[in-house]
Structure 1
Amino acid sequence: MTSSATMLVLGISHASAPLDLLERLAGTDRPAEDLVSDATSVDGIDAAVVVSTCNRLEIYAETRGGPSGPGDLGDLGDLFAQHTGVDRDEIAPHLYSHHADGAVRHLFAVASGLESVVVGEDQILGQVKLGLERSQRLDRTGRVLAKAVQTALRVGKRARNETGLNEAGRSLATAGLGFFEREVGSLHGKTALVIGAGAFAGVVVAALRRSGLDRVHVANRTPDKAQRLADTTGGTGYGLEDVPRLLTEVDVVVGATAATGHLVTAGHVEEALAARDGRELFLLDLSLPHNIAPGAAELPGVTFVDLRRIAEEGQEDEISAASVQAAHELIDAEVEQFRTGLRLAGAKPVLTALRTAATEAAEAELDRLERRLDGLDGAARQEIGRSVRRIVDKALHQPTVLVRELAADPDGARHIAAFTRLFAAAESHGDDGDRTNDPNEKKIEAIA
């Protein structure tokens, strides 16, 4: 991080809070845009990106002389309570924060799927990208924060492609279906109903198709949208009012919508089981808040899997520890590269000021010479001009290289600050003990 801009993250997720609390947090009707706007209204917060999923709510913020750590987050923590309607005292014990390099490392790990319920899943990449695009629409994304998120998206792809995290093509949907397949065998030839028709539901439908199901139907508040998604599988689109009836016909039901309130109740399931002639019903709820009432899990003839079970029991096809370790090592290297890039960017203003001062002084000297040496012809004037400019370029070359090398050093921020103070002091000294009234001559004397 540079001395002028700092990143921090404050968040809550499945790793820090129970899923029943996350379900209540996810039940808010307030859009994430409101949280972005509220975050940037906090003193010291210049920009913000919100990553909001069914099991994660995080504020990534860029500060300039603002909060510096977990104990100095000011009003930022209160926004979680204001946004979700859950009491702050209930949320506070489950909040986590990271600052500066730690915030960047956490962001890169989140984008890589290392912080997900299912390690390595790739839906989080789209959700991080959505968070950035949301802030850009609101013009609430700073230079450092935007660069960090853009880099995180690239790092997330690298981690999956280069370390083995992507080998299993994992997602919450494939993990949930894996529970069914381990307990009852192949799902080949069975039919499914997906509740929801958004982007996540599309991922679920694709996972169901890969599992060999015969047909996948889709139910949504808007039947036309449901039909468009169902068309990709040869299924049929329905309205939500058709869900209770469809429970008697399909084998697998997947909840994949952000709707509040249970769309499938225990009563719906109980009535459907009575008409199924003993055929088992598989319920997979991947939503928070729950789409399927947890009470349905207690009914005989039902196999029920939700995010809690996925998180607590894990998956049989565990990604190797070597792949996870390789991903962390890749992230560490990317964090260092990001830090170096910021230090180099911090050096640009002082290098620009140095070159501007030298160039202005050289041009002023050339103007003075032209006034004093009226007898010079045009060719001589041009040659003198080229010579003076070459002297400036040569004089600046080594300091420029040195500043860039110092900026890349782990202690680069201090080096650049010292160089900036030295340059400012030299200019100030030139203004006092002057041998000429020309301010540009004082600048070139200071640089020399």
Structure 2
Amino acid sequence: MPILALGLNHKTAPVEVRERITFGPDIIAGALRSLLEAASVEESVILSTCNRTEVYCSINDTEKGSVADWISDFHGLDNGKVSPYLYSHMDADAVRHLMRVSCGLDSLVLGEPQILGQVKSAFQTAASANATGKMLSKLFQHVFSVSKQIRTDTAIGNSPVSVAFAAVSLARQIFSELKEQTALLIGAGETVELAARHLHQNGIGRIIVANRTVERAHSLAAQFDGYAIALTEIGNHLAEADIVISSTASPLPILGKGTVERALKERKHRPIFMVDIAVPRDIEPEVADLSDIYLYTVDDLDEVIEENKRSRQEAALQAEEIIDQHVEEFMGWLRSLDAVELIQGYRIQAEQLRNETLKKALQQLKKGKSPEEALQFLAHTLTNKLLHTPSAQLRQAGFDGQIELLEAANTLFQLKKPTNRP
């Protein structure tokens, strides 16, 4: 059964397109159910992050158009406005793509480790929604094993590089010293936690964490001697912030132009550096038009990220070699599934012949035949029945000149030419 990987990412689609194709945590289970109702889809996992939205499916045929149409229809968009940004991979290419994604080789920051956790979470969500089966379960477990090997055997993850790290690096370039600065972090997920860690390591003066759940914000802020506020309190504290880094799963912007204007007025127009990592965006794009605001999205971090990429290229080449080996290993397992069905069918046929012949041999015993005669009958009849069809097919293959079939049979049965013919 074909495997399809279809989606878009930071390389193929700008943020304004990506933010319209996301699957938030509250809708992803329903989305999986909807996708499985598509006639060609048997199993599916949906991966949706700030930099990519991808659908991994096992499908009944090689037609990928129905899945592409489903993505557009689910989000209420014209397919013509989405399809130019989509890429697709089939079978071995799909397996390779998933491995590269999980290892961070396809990330905005080469080798970043967060994506593996996001892939694991996507798979667990799909498994909980009963959207996965034998094929995708095997694939994703294989991918997790490969990712672990690459982290262990290469230097792909040796330096602390991520989108969050790139954001903090840019803040250091702007402010040079962070000890006098205050950072407002919006959200309390992995990316924000990583940003908080990097800021703390670089000597940030104060950290404020704003989150929908204040308890979660407090738990994170406490690790870095910061304090927590609710999202509704951001307007009261924004003027304190020199640095704002935002990454939430909100479908609507958290910060609007009016709120930022009031904060700038209170700050007497001291500049604020803002990084909006979220997709959909947390900060209204119009905020970038304000004087004294330096607003960056994930797409603006390319220069910082390119510098980090160069330091990881050698490790990436090693990782690609490991991936190539494991792609072939998985595809070998996949091809073996066809053989399993064939073997099962052959065994069922052989067992039916055995049972029929054994029944006749037992009847002969009941009729007074000796055990030796019954065994002779059993061995002779069963051998003839098992060999009849293959022998007839091989004889016909010889008559038709099907040399490849004869050679395959010789390999299959491991036959030796008889030394003495009767």
| TM class by smaller structure | 0.7 to 0.9
Unaligned runs of 5+ in 1: 396-413, 424-448
Distance (whole Å) between structure 1 residues aligned to residue 213 and residue 282 of structure 2: 16
Distance (whole Å) between structure 2 residues aligned to residue 267 and residue 27 of structure 1: 28
C-alpha contact (below 8 Å) 1:204/1:256 kept by paired residues? no
Provide the aligned length of Structure 1 versus Structure 2: 385
Shift of 1:101: 0.9
Partner residue, 1:295: 286
Partner residue, 1:100: 91
Tell me whether 1:242 sits opposite 2:200 in the alignment: no
Distance change in 2, residues 1:20/1:331 (3 Å)? same
Tell me whether 1:185 sits opposite 2:176 in the alignment: yes
Partner residue, 1:39: 35
Distance (whole Å) between structure 2 residues aligned to residue 357 and residue 210 of structure 1: 69
Distance (whole Å) between structure 1 residues aligned to residue 89 and residue 306 of structure 2: 28
Distance change in 2, residues 1:301/1:101 (3 Å)? same
Shift of 1:104: 0.9
Write the deviation string for residues 82-101 of structure 1: whole angstroms up to 9, x where unpaired. Answer: 22223211111111111111
Partner residue, 1:163: 154
Partner residue, 2:200: 209
Distance (whole Å) between structure 1 residues aligned to residue 160 and residue 357 of structure 2: 66
Query: Residue 325 of structure 1 is aligned with which of 317, 337, 340?
Result: 317
Write the deviation string for residues 200-221 of structure 1: whole angstroms up to 9, x where unpaired. Answer: 4334333433333244221122
Give TM-score scaled by structure 2 length.
0.79
Query: Residue 108 of structure 2 is aligned with which of 92, 106, 117?
Result: 117
Distance change in 2, residues 1:189/1:352 (3 Å)? farther
Shift of 1:25: 2.8
Distance (whole Å) between structure 2 residues aligned to residue 248 and residue 30 of structure 1: 32
C-alpha contact (below 8 Å) 1:282/1:304 kept by paired residues? yes
The aligned amino acid for 1:294 is: P
Distance change in 2, residues 1:289/1:205 (3 Å)? same
Distance (whole Å) between structure 1 residues aligned to residue 177 and residue 102 of structure 2: 32
Percent of residue pairs bearing the same amino acid type: 31
Write the deviation string for residues 41-89 of structure 1: whole angstroms up to 9, x where unpaired. Answer: 122211111111122111111023x2x1xxx324221222222223211
Shift of 1:364: 6.9
Distance (whole Å) between structure 2 residues aligned to residue 293 and residue 96 of structure 1: 28
Query: Residue 337 of structure 1 is aligned with which of 329, 335, 341?
Result: 329
Tell me whether 1:53 sits opposite 2:49 in the alignment: yes
Write the deviation string for residues 216-243 of structure 1: whole angstroms up to 9, x where unpaired. Answer: 2211223233222222222222111211
C-alpha contact (below 8 Å) 1:101/1:339 kept by paired residues? yes
Distance (whole Å) between structure 1 residues aligned to residue 98 and residue 23 of structure 2: 24
Distance change in 2, residues 1:261/1:363 (3 Å)? closer
C-alpha contact (below 8 Å) 1:27/1:260 kept by paired residues? no
Tell me whether 1:7 sits opposite 2:3 in the alignment: yes
The aligned amino acid for 2:31 is: L
Give TM-score scaled by structure 1 length.
0.75
C-alpha contact (below 8 Å) 1:27/1:289 kept by paired residues? no
C-alpha contact (below 8 Å) 2:246/2:276 kept by paired residues? yes
Distance change in 2, residues 1:273/1:355 (3 Å)? same
Residue 187 of structure 1 aligns to a residue whose secondary structure is coil
Distance change in 2, residues 1:210/1:151 (3 Å)? farther
Shift of 1:28: 7.6
Shift of 1:199: 4.2
C-alpha contact (below 8 Å) 2:32/2:44 kept by paired residues? yes
Shift of 1:194: 1.2
Write the deviation string for residues 330-374 of structure 1: whole angstroms up to 9, x where unpaired. Answer: 211110111112223432333344456556766776777677679
Distance change in 2, residues 1:26/1:358 (3 Å)? closer
C-alpha contact (below 8 Å) 1:30/1:84 kept by paired residues? no
Partner residue, 2:416: none
Unaligned runs of 5+ in 2: 387-403, 414-422
The aligned amino acid for 1:328 is: E
Distance change in 2, residues 1:181/1:199 (3 Å)? closer
Shift of 1:168: 1.5
Residue 290 of structure 1 aligns to a residue whose secondary structure is coil
Distance (whole Å) between structure 2 residues aligned to residue 37 and residue 356 of structure 1: 36
Distance change in 2, residues 1:285/1:99 (3 Å)? same
Distance (whole Å) between structure 2 residues aligned to residue 44 and residue 289 of structure 1: 30
Shift of 1:133: 1.5
Query: Residue 221 of structure 1 is aligned with which of 193, 208, 212?
Result: 212
Distance (whole Å) between structure 2 residues aligned to residue 356 and residue 62 of structure 1: 28
The aligned amino acid for 1:230 is: A
CA RMSD of aligned residues (A): 3.6
Partner residue, 1:148: 139
Residue 20 of structure 2 aligns to a residue whose secondary structure is helix
Tell me whether 1:268 sits opposite 2:264 in the alignment: no
Residue 43 of structure 1 aligns to a residue whose secondary structure is coil
Distance (whole Å) between structure 2 residues aligned to residue 158 and residue 122 of structure 1: 13
C-alpha contact (below 8 Å) 1:261/1:289 kept by paired residues? yes
